[in-house]
Amino acid sequence: MKLYVESDVKPEVLTGERIAVLGYGSQGRAHAMNLRDSGFDVVIGLRPGGATSAKAQNDGFEVLSPKDAVSNAGLVAFLVPDMAQSKLYDEIKDSLKKDITILFAHGFNIHYKQISPRGDLDVVLIAPKGPGDLVRRQYEEGRGVPCLIAVAQDATNNAHSRALAYAHGIGGTRGGVLDTSFGEETETDLFGEQAVLCGGLSELIVRGFGTLVEAGYQPEVAYFECMHEVKLIVDLLHEGGLAKMHEFVSETAKYGDLTQGPRVVDDHTGEKMKEVLKDIQDGTFANNWVSEYESGLPEYNRLLEEDIKSKIEIVGKELRGRMSWLKN
Ligand code: NAD
Ligand code: MG
């Protein structure tokens, strides 16, 4: 494992170059503000009249069309949604200078060949391991969210150093920057969000809630137990792993955890996780997602609607409305 820190950075490889940040959402805003505070010349590229143009302008940035933003840039960061990136690349590719660096925060489009970059470009990845607001907040506090770094194409013979200088500009070297490949970052990121973080955890919560409600317990009690209290446990896991979680829950909770947990999440779940991973590795998931996006997201919207209308959401909304401290 190779972890890069501030003393590994060669800032001169990016000094004086203009950085174009395409997109001003979760990551785009955080990267742009951190880079500017680190002394870089940053310009924002956005579709004219898009929702975030005003925001970027209010934050004091020069906002241009994507084509104009990239035309003088030495590094271009693609921070629009993954499904919008290949169309955006096609729009701007002829406006990119020669021998510059294009940068991604997630490897999807390069790994699954949705974008085939020009041969004279560096193609690099700086993937912060946290949401954009945290990337900004940690930077302001003198800390930094750790990042992953990878190089898919090295046209300048400096691609890795240039990516590292960018990571340094967003605060990543304060937390540490870890070498990976586009393939490893993309596949582990998709697996994590599908099997564990977004998919696995939310299914576990919804099924736990449903089991209690079906057995006749009050939905409000079930909500507190299966949804609300997740945060307490996740915070302990985040701060100190399984050991800290065990230290802070009761003896009875610990005995229940150790003996009953493996009854719920068992070998069957393990097999299903392997199937999910296989679909990620062989491109099945990526193909499905791209064609769903291209056909206007019918299934995605249907499933989203179902989630929002479910009982746990109705009960939760009501209860959270009474907890004023949750409002922000
Ligand atoms: P986002 O959804 O917050 O980005 C929105 C921005 O993109 C806005 O400025 C919007 O105007 C613009 N945009 C939206 N649709 C567009 C379109 N069709 N064409 C052009 N511009 C469009 O994006 P994000 O969540 O910051 O993700 C950006 C990249 O960062 C992605 O590659 C994502 O995988 C990666 N990433 C995100 C996170 C995260 O926490 N959100 C974490 C790590 C990596
Ligand atoms: Mg992810």
Using pLDDT thresholds of 50, 70 and 90, give the confidence band for residue 327.
Answer: low
User: Could you tell me the distance, in angstroms and rounded to a whole number, from the CA of residue 82 to the centre of ligand 1?
Assistant: 7
Taking the C-alpha atoms of residue 102 and residue 153, their distance in angstroms, rounded to an integer, is 10
Ligand 1: nearest atom to the Cα of 56: 9
- Of the residues 31, 106, 111, 168, which is catalytic? 106
Q: Can you read off the two tokens belonging to residue 137?
A: 């907040």
Nearest to 34 by CA among 55, 61, 8: 61
Ligand nearest to the CA of 187: 2
DSSP letter for each residue of 224-283: IIIIITHHHHHHHHHHHHHHHHHHHS-HHHHHHHHHHHHHHS-HHHHHHHHHHHHHHHTT
Q: pLDDT by residue (tens digit) across 125-149?
A: 999 999 999 999 999 999 999 999 9
Taking the C-alpha atoms of residue 203 and residue 273, their distance in angstroms, rounded to an integer, is 14
Using pLDDT thresholds of 50, 70 and 90, give the confidence band for residue 328.
Answer: low
Percent of the chain with pLDDT over 70: 99
Q: pLDDT by residue (tens digit) across 217-254?
A: 999 999 999 999 999 999 999 999 999 999 999 999 99
Taking the C-alpha atoms of residue 155 and residue 73, their distance in angstroms, rounded to an integer, is 16
- Ligand 1 within 6 A of 183 CB? no
Residue that wins the pLDDT comparison between 179 and 49: 179
- Ligand 1 within 6 A of 39 CB? no
Q: Stretch 18-38: mean pLDDT, rounded?
A: 98
- Ligand 1 within 6 A of 186 CB? no
User: Could you tell me the distance, in angstroms and rounded to a whole number, from the CA of residue 276 to the centre of ligand 1?
Assistant: 24
Query: Residue 51: pLDDT above 90?
Result: no
pLDDT of residue 301: 97
pTM of the model: 0.94
pLDDT of residue 50: 82
Q: Stretch 26-40: mean pLDDT, rounded?
A: 97
Percent of the chain with pLDDT over 90: 95
Query: Residue 106 catalytic?
Result: yes
- Say which range, 44-53, 178-187, 207-216, has the weakest mean pLDDT: 44-53
Q: Ligand 1 pocket check: which of 22, 24, 26, 294 to mutate, most ligand atoms within 8 Å of Cβ?
A: 26
What's 192's DSSP letter? Answer: I
- Ligand 1 within 6 A of 115 CB? no
Beta pairing partners, 124: 103, 151
Q: pLDDT by residue (tens digit) across 252-266?
A: 999 999 999 999 999
Using pLDDT thresholds of 50, 70 and 90, give the confidence band for residue 324.
Answer: confident
Nearest to 191 by CA among 182, 178, 179, 200: 200
- Ligand 1 within 6 A of 310 CB? no
